[in-house]
């Protein structure tokens, strides 16, 4: 019987598939670290109070990238090139979601609207990350190889999501509610399509590495498309709601060091 647990177990147990999984994850996290660092450097003067939290967000993402590289080293593996069709961040940018990398590479200050776009885009993508890590913690939180890493990352992702809720609610109270809802909706609808495409691409690569029979690959692809159909019909709404988080000021302190992974 196919399940998220059985599929991930297969991926973890095989060196080639585990190598690709960690390489994709590390690449995305490292990219997120760079993006947040650039946003923190370019945040407008009127929002400089957010710079330490954005910096903390980026430091967490960098830490996650190091964790995935450390997991590879523990298996005697090195990172491999990430196939372009599995690059979640790049594909989102191509759809015009979030802040363009060309803008972040420049030295011009961002605008307040840019920060609203950044936070709304992050609220959507951090929801995805938090949900994925929550699922992995449920199934693999006690795994001897990846359990501790998954728990650390999951805790951080929950904090990132809480931070996005808190800051967007504050901006909504300042009169930016309509803009926030528009950007959230655009981001969510684009994200669920990109997530479908990336999931299909990743599972196709895994299928080749693990020699899955055609019926198994077809069933997995059908499940991914079914999830997208549900999200496109109704599920995306939960990605744009805003509510006061239980964890307040989640990114208000220094990053939690994990030297055993670094």
Distance CA 25, CA 102 (A): 23
Answer yes or no: is 258 within a domain.
Answer: no
Answer yes or no: is 99 within a domain.
Answer: yes
Which of residues 103 and 3 earns the better pLDDT score? 103
Percent with pLDDT over 70 in the chain? 96
Residue-wise burial string across 14-52, b where 16 or more C-beta atoms lie within 10 A, e elsewhere? beebbbbbbbbbbbbbbbbbbbbbbbbebbeeebeebee
Answer yes or no: is 260 within a domain.
Answer: no
Neighbouring CB atoms inside 10 A of 76's CB total 7
Answer yes or no: is 246 within a domain.
Answer: no
Q: Which two tokens stand for residue 156?
A: 């951080």
Point out the least confidently predicted range of 12-26, 130-144, 240-254: 240-254
Q: How confident is the model at residue 3 (pLDDT cuts 50, 70, 90)?
A: confident
Q: How confident is the model at residue 96 (pLDDT cuts 50, 70, 90)?
A: confident
How far, CA to CA in Å, does 248 sit from each of 47, 163, 167? 19, 7, 10
Q: What is the pLDDT of residues 232-243, one digit of tens each?
A: 999 999 999 999
| Residues 157, 150 contacting (CB under 8 angstroms) | no
Answer yes or no: is 248 within a domain.
Answer: no
**pLDDT recorded at residue 87:** 95
Point out the least confidently predicted range of 9-13, 54-58, 248-252: 248-252
| Residues 82, 27 contacting (CB under 8 angstroms) | yes
Distance CA 260, CA 73 (A): 12
Residue 7 scores a pLDDT above 60:
yes
Residues 6+ apart with CB under 8 A from 167: 50, 53, 119
Q: What is the pTM of this model?
A: 0.93
Helix axes 112-140, 4-13, angle to 10 degrees: 90
Q: Which domain holds residue 196?
A: 4-239
Answer yes or no: is 189 within a domain.
Answer: yes
**pLDDT recorded at residue 81:** 95
Phi-psi map region of 106: left, alpha, beta (phi>0 left; psi -120 to 50 alpha)? beta
Q: How many structural domains comprise the chain?
A: 1
Answer yes or no: is 256 within a domain.
Answer: no
Q: What is the pLDDT of residues 216-237, one digit of tens each?
A: 999 999 999 999 999 999 999 9
Which of residues 35 and 254 earns the better pLDDT score? 35
Residue 252 scores a pLDDT above 90:
no
**pLDDT recorded at residue 259:** 52
CATH number of the CATH domain containing 33: 1.20.1260.10
pLDDT, the chain, mean: 93
Q: Which two tokens stand for residue 111?
A: 């605008």
**pLDDT recorded at residue 2:** 75
Q: Which two tokens stand for residue 132?
A: 């994925």
Percent with pLDDT over 90 in the chain? 88
71 sits in which H/E element: helix 51-74
Distance CA 245, CA 69 (A): 31
Q: How confident is the model at residue 186 (pLDDT cuts 50, 70, 90)?
A: very high
Helix axes 177-210, 4-13, angle to 10 degrees: 60
In terms of Cα–Cα distance, which of 102, 99, 94 is closest to 198?
Answer: 94
Distance CA 236, CA 138 (A): 23
**pLDDT recorded at residue 262:** 41
Point out the least confidently predicted range of 133-147, 180-194, 243-257: 243-257
Answer yes or no: is 67 within a domain.
Answer: yes
Q: What is the pLDDT of residues 106-153, one digit of tens each?
A: 999 999 999 999 999 999 999 999 999 999 999 998 888 899 999 999
In terms of Cα–Cα distance, which of 129, 127, 152, 125 is closest to 140?
Answer: 152
**pLDDT recorded at residue 101:** 92
Q: How confident is the model at residue 257 (pLDDT cuts 50, 70, 90)?
A: low
């Amino acid at each position: 019987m196919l399940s998220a647990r059985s599929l991930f177990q297969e991926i973890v147990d095989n060196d080639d598939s585990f190598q690709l999984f960690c390489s994709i994850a590390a690449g995305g996290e490292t990219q997120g670290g760079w993006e947040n660092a650039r946003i923190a450097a370019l945040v407008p003067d009127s929002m400089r109070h957010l710079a330490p939290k954005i910096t903390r967000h980026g430091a967490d993402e960098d830490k996650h990238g190091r964790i995935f590289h450390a997991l590879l080293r523990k298996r005697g593996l090195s990172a491999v090139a990430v196939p372009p069709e599995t690059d979640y961040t790049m594909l989102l940018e191509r759809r015009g979601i979030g802040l363009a990398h060309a803008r972040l590479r420049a030295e011009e200050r961002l605008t307040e609207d840019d920060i609203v776009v950044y936070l709304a885009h992050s609220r959507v993508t951090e929801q995805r990350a938090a949900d994925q890590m929550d699922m992995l913690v449920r199934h693999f939180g006690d795994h001897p190889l990846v359990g501790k890493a998954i728990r650390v990352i999951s805790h951080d992702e929950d904090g990132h999501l809480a931070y996005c809720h808190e800051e967007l609610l504050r901006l909504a109270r300042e009169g930016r509610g309509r803009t926030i809802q528009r950007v959230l909706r655009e981001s969510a609808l684009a994200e669920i399509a990109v997530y479908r495409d990336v999931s299909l691409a990743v599972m196709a690569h895994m299928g080749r590495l693990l020699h899955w029979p055609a019926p198994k690959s077809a069933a997995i692809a059908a499940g991914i498309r079914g999830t997208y159909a549900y999200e496109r019909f109704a599920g995306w709404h939960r990605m744009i709601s805003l509510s006061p988080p239980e964890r307040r000021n989640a990114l208000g302190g220094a990053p939690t060091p994990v030297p055993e992974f670094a």
